[in-house]
C-alpha cells in the first residue's frame, strides 16, 4: 500500500504512522465524511476464518463508548482486513517518559484515573484489553488520556502464538499471562499498574532486556523497588500483586487514584468530526454537527473476553444521571412544549403512543393527517451516538415524509426527535428543529420532571426486556450471539446481534389503543394472543406482536404489547419461524 491508494473506495491513505507487532497504522482521509481517520491492518494476509473473527471482535470493540477509550468506526474485510479508528496527533506515554524522564506521582495518578475509568467500562462489557502499556496510552498537551488499540485480536487470540513464543508485551504482562494462561480483567489491572510504575519510576517494574529474561522475572515476581512513587506506592503494590484475586478492580483503582489526583479533572479536547459506530450493515447516514475527538494507535491489540456472560439482572436500568434520574419515572413529555409547536397548527399531546420512553405531539397543519412530533429518550450506547451535551446530530432524510434529529442530553443519554407525515405540506425539518429547541430549553433548566402519573404496577414498564430471552431461547436462531444483548432506556428494549451476518433480534414494548386492531396474522402462543406480520418496506424482517393483558389488570384504554422482530439480509418470511419461537419463549416469562 502507498500514499494515495484508496481503501474500499472511500479511505485515501496519507501517511504510514507506525508499525507494531499487531499491524501497521496509516492516517487516511475519509472521502465520504470529509475527515481524517486512522486505518490499521495486519502484517499478514487473513484467512476467511480470520475475517469472520475480525468482524466479530471489531463489533465488540464498537460497543465501547467512553471518553478515555478509542472508538472503532468501521471495518473493511475484503482481501485485506482494515480497522477504521479515531485519530489524534497526541503523543503516547512511552514517548513522553523517554523524552522527559520519570513523571511526578500526581501527574501519573491523573493519567491512571482516566485509564482506569476506561478499563472499568471495558470490563463491564466483559472485554479484556490484553495489552495495556505506555505505548497504548495517548496524552494531549492537557494530559487528557485515552487508551488505544482495540479490535485486531485475530492474530493473537491467546497469549502464545503457535510456535510457543510470547505474543504480548513482556515488560507489562501479568504473571498469569506470562505463564501462558488467558488474560482477564485482573491482568489488565496488573498491566496498568506496571504502566504507571514505568511512568513514575522511568523503568518497567521488571526491568528491560531480553523478553525471555523479563518474562522469567515477571513469573518469579522479581520486581524492582519503587523510589519515586511516593503516595502511589501502596496502590501500585496492590495492582501488581502476583495473585489476580488480590488485585483491586479497575473501579477501585480509579477511586484510589482520584484521592491522589485531587480535584483535577481532565479537559475534554476540542470536538472533531465523528461517525456512528453501529454495525456497518445497519448504520444510518448521519451528518455530525459536533462530536468527539479522534485518536490513533499503533501497538498490538489483544482483547476477547473469556469471562461468562453477565447475569440477567445486569440488564436492569440504572439510576441514571442527575439530569434524567430514574429512567422509569422521568417524563419524556417534559422535553416537548405544545405551546411552542402551536405556531404550526393546533396541537394534541399523546403520552401513550409507542414505547414507554416516548411522547408525541400531533400538530394539525390543516391537512387530513397531522404531523407527528415524536421524542424518544435513549441511551447513547444503544443509539450509538457521540459528542458533547446539547450537540445535535442531523440524520439525512431518507424521504420527504420524515425529518430526524438526535440531541445528546449528557454523557449517558440522548433524545431522538422526529417529525413525520405522509406527503407533508409543511417543512417537517422546521418543525423538528423547533422541537429540538424546546428540548434543549428543558435540559438547561436542570433535572427533568417526573411523570405526573406513575407507570402501572402491572404494566410491561416494570419488566426488563433483555432477560426475557436466555441462551436456550436464542438457540432458535444460531447466528445470534447471546452475549451481544444491548439494553436500551428503562430496560424497555433489547437487541441481540450476529457476529458474522446482518441478522439481529429486536425485542421492545409498545402501547396500543385497546379497541384498535393489531396488524398481522393472529396466532396463539400459549396463553397469549399474538400477531405475525412481514415488513413490507424492507422485505427482510418478520415481527411477532404479543398482546399483554394479565388476569389482574384493570381495563385501560391502552394495552401493552411486546414486539419481537428478527431481521437480516434474507426474505422476511424465512425469519418468521425463529421470530415465533423467540416470541413464544419471551411471552412465557411475562407476568400473568
Residue 293, pLDDT score = 30
- Decide if pLDDT at 76 tops 80: yes
**CA triplet 93, 97, 103: central angle to 5 degrees?**
100
Query: Average pLDDT, stretch 356-371?
Result: 88
Q: Which burial class, exposed, middle or buried, applies to 296 when counting CB atoms under 10 A from its CB (0-12, 13-18, 19+)? A: buried
Residue showing cell 400473568: 592
Contacts of 465 (CB under 8 A, 6+ apart): 315, 487, 491, 492, 493, 494, 507, 508, 509
Tell me the residue length of the chain.
592
Which domains are present in the chain?
A: 6-88 (3.30.200.20), 91-270+303-312 (1.10.510.10), 316-444 (no CATH), 460-588 (2.60.120)
Task: List the single range of 23-27, 117-121, 189-193, 301-305 with lowest mean pLDDT.
Answer: 301-305
Contacts of 547 (CB under 8 A, 6+ apart): 518, 528, 529, 530, 531, 559, 561
- Decide if pLDDT at 71 tops 90: no
Strand partners of residue 359: 375
219-235 pLDDT per residue, tens: 988 999 999 999 999 99
Residue showing cell 404479543: 546
Strand partners of residue 74: 84
Question: What confidence tier does 169 reach under pLDDT thresholds 50, 70, 90?
Answer: confident
**CA triplet 257, 255, 314: central angle to 5 degrees?**
140
* C-alpha distances in Å from residue 18, one per residue of 25, 26, 68, 97, 480: 6, 7, 22, 19, 36
- Decide if pLDDT at 407 tops 70: yes
- Of the candidates 470, 533, 467, the one whose C-alpha atom is nearest the C-alpha of residue 494 is 467
- Decide if pLDDT at 320 tops 80: no
Catalytic: which of 74, 131, 140, 149? 131
Residue 314, pLDDT score = 41
Query: Average pLDDT, stretch 155-162?
Result: 35
475-492 pLDDT per residue, tens: 999 889 999 899 999 999
Instruction: Report how far residue 507's alpha carbon sits from residue 469's, in angstroms, rounded to the nearest whole number.
Output: 9
Residue 358, pLDDT score = 95
- Decide if pLDDT at 470 tops 70: yes
Average pLDDT for the chain: 81
Task: List the single range of 119-123, 364-368, 413-417 with lowest mean pLDDT.
Answer: 364-368
Residue 121, pLDDT score = 86
- Decide if pLDDT at 162 tops 50: no
Instruction: Report how far residue 541's alpha carbon sits from residue 538's, in angstroms, rounded to the nearest whole number.
Output: 7
**Residue 379: all three cell numbers together:** 441511551
Which range of 123-127, 239-243, 401-405 scores highest in mean pLDDT? It is 239-243
User: Is 357:455 a contact under the CB 8 Å cutoff?
Assistant: no
Residue 140, pLDDT score = 86
Residue showing cell 478515555: 68
Residue 288, pLDDT score = 32
Give me the DSSP letters along 326-354: STTTB-GGGG--HHHHGGGS-EEEETTSS
- Decide if pLDDT at 318 tops 60: no
Instruction: Report how far residue 177's alpha carbon sits from residue 352's, in angstroms, rounded to the nearest whole number.
Output: 53
- What is the number of H-type helices and E-type strands within the chain? 13, 23
Residue 387, pLDDT score = 82
Which residue would you say has higher pLDDT here, 110 or 73? 110
Task: List the single range of 209-213, 275-279, 559-563 with lowest mean pLDDT.
Answer: 275-279
User: Is 343:331 a contact under the CB 8 Å cutoff?
Assistant: no
- Decide if pLDDT at 424 tops 90: no
22-36 pLDDT per residue, tens: 567 888 898 888 888
Residue 267, pLDDT score = 61
Residue 51, pLDDT score = 64
Contacts of 401 (CB under 8 A, 6+ apart): 420, 421, 422, 423, 424, 428
**CA triplet 128, 132, 137: central angle to 5 degrees?**
125
| Spatial strand order in the sheet of 91-92 | 91-92, 137-139, 145-147
User: CB count, 10 Å around CB of 457?
Assistant: 10
User: Is 18:24 a contact under the CB 8 Å cutoff?
Assistant: yes
Looking only at the bridges linking them, the beta strands covering 504-513 and 413-420 are unpaired
Task: List the single range of 267-271, 319-323, 576-580 with lowest mean pLDDT.
Answer: 267-271
Question: What confidence tier does 90 reach under pLDDT thresholds 50, 70, 90?
Answer: confident
Residue 396, pLDDT score = 59
Question: What confidence tier does 319 reach under pLDDT thresholds 50, 70, 90?
Answer: low
248-295 pLDDT per residue, tens: 999 999 999 999 988 777 665 554 433 333 332 233 333 332 222 323
263 in catalytic set:
no
* C-alpha distances in Å from residue 211, one per residue of 34, 165, 172, 332, 562: 43, 10, 11, 57, 57
- The strand ranges marked E within 136-266 are 137-139, 145-147
What pTM, to 2 d.p., does this model score?
0.49
Task: List the single range of 78-87, 313-322, 347-356, 384-393 with lowest mean pLDDT.
Answer: 313-322
User: Is 349:337 a contact under the CB 8 Å cutoff?
Assistant: no
Residue 368, pLDDT score = 77
- Decide if pLDDT at 308 tops 60: no
- Decide if pLDDT at 439 tops 90: yes
Residue 588, pLDDT score = 94
Amino acid at each position: 500500500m502507498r500514499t494515495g491508494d484508496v481503501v474500499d473506495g472511500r479511505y485515501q491513505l496519507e501517511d504510514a504512522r507506525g508499525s507494531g507487532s499487531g499491524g501497521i497504522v496509516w492516517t487516511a482521509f475519509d472521502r465520504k465524511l470529509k475527515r481524517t481517520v486512522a486505518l490499521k491492518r495486519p502484517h499478514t494476509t487473513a484467512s476467511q476464518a480470520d475475517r469472520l473473527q475480525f468482524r466479530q471482535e471489531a463489533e465488540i470493540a464498537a460497543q465501547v463508548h467512553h471518553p478515555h477509550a478509542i472508538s472503532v468506526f468501521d471495518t473493511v474485510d475484503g482481501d485485506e482486513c482494515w480497522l477504521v479508528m479515531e485519530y489524534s496527533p497526541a503523543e503516547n506515554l512511552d514517548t513522553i517518559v523517554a523524552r522527559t524522564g520519570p513523571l511526578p506521582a500526581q501527574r501519573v495518578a491523573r493519567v491512571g484515573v482516566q485509564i482506569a475509568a476506561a478499563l472499568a467500562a471495558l470490563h463491564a462489557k466483559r472485554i479484556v484489553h490484553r495489552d495495556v502499556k505506555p505505548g497504548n496510552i495517548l496524552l494531549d498537551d492537557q494530559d487528557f488520556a485515552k487508551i488505544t488499540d482495540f479490535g485486531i485480536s485475530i492474530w493473537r487470540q491467546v497469549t502464545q502464538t503457535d510456535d510457543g513464543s510470547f505474543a504480548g508485551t513482556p515488560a507489562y504482562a501479568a504473571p498469569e499471562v506470562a505463564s501462558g494462561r488467558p488474560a482477564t480483567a485482573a491482568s489488565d489491572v496488573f498491566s496498568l499498574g506496571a504502566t504507571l510504575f514505568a511512568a513514575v519510576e522511568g523503568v518497567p517494574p521488571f526491568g528491560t532486556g531480553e523478553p525471555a529474561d523479563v518474562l522469567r522475572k515477571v513469573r518469579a515476581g522479581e520486581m524492582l523497588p519503587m523510589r519515586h512513587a511516593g503516595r502511589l506506592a501502596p496502590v501500585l503494590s496492590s495492582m501488581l500483586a502476583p495473585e489476580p484475586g488480590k488485585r483491586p478492580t479497575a473501579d477501585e483503582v480509579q477511586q484510589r487514584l482520584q484521592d491522589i489526583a485531587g480535584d483535577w479533572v481532565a479537559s475534554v479536547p476540542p470536538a472533531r468530526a465523528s461517525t456512528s459506530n453501529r454495525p456497518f450493515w445497519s448504520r444510518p447516514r448521519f451528518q455530525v454537527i459536533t462530536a468527539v475527538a479522534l485518536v490513533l494507535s499503533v501497538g498490538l491489540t489483544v482483547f476477547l473476553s473469556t469471562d461468562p456472560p453477565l447475569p440477567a439482572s445486569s440488564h436492569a436500568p440504572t439510576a441514571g444521571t442527575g439530569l434524567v434520574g430514574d429512567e422509569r419515572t422521568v417524563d419524556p413529555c417534559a422535553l416537548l412544549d405544545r405551546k411552542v409547536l402551536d405556531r404550526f397548527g393546533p396541537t394534541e399531546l399523546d403520552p401513550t403512543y409507542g414505547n414507554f420512553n416516548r411522547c408525541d405531539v400531533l400538530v394539525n397543519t390543516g391537512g387530513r393527517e397531522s404531523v407527528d412530533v415524536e421524542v424518544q429518550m435513549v441511551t447513547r450506547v444503544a443509539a450509538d451516538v457521540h459528542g458533547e451535551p446539547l450537540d445535535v446530530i442531523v440524520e439525512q432524510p431518507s424521504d420527504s415524509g420524515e425529518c430526524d434529529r438526535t440531541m445528546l442530553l449528557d454523557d449517558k443519554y440522548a433524545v431522538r426527535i422526529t417529525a413525520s407525515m405522509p406527503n407533508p405540506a409543511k417543512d417537517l425539518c422546521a418543525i423538528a428543529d423547533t422541537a429540538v429547541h424546546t428540548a434543549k430549553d428543558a435540559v438547561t433548566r436542570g433535572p427533568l420532571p417526573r411523570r405526573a402519573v406513575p407507570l402501572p404496577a402491572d404494566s410491561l414498564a416494570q419488566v426488563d426486556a433483555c432477560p426475557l430471552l436466555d441462551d436456550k431461547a436464542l438457540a432458535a436462531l444460531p447466528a445470534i450471539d447471546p452475549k451481544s444483548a444491548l439494553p436500551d432506556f428503562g430496560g424497555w428494549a433489547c437487541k441481540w446481534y450476529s457476529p458474522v451476518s446482518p441478522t439481529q433480534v429486536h425485542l421492545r414494548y409498545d402501547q396500543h389503543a385497546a379497541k384498535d386492531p393489531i396488524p398481522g396474522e393472529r396466532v396463539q402462543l400459549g396463553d397469549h394472543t399474538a400477531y405475525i406480520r412481514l415488513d413490507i418496506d424492507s422485505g427482510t424482517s418478520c415481527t411477532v406482536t404479543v398482546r399483554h393483558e394479565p388476569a389482574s389488570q384493570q381495563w385501560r384504554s391502552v394495552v401493552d404489547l411486546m414486539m419481537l422482530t428478527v431481521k437480516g439480509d434474507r426474505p422476511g418470511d424465512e425469519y418468521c419461524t425463529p421470530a415465533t419461537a423467540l416470541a413464544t419463549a419471551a411471552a412465557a416469562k411475562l407476568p400473568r
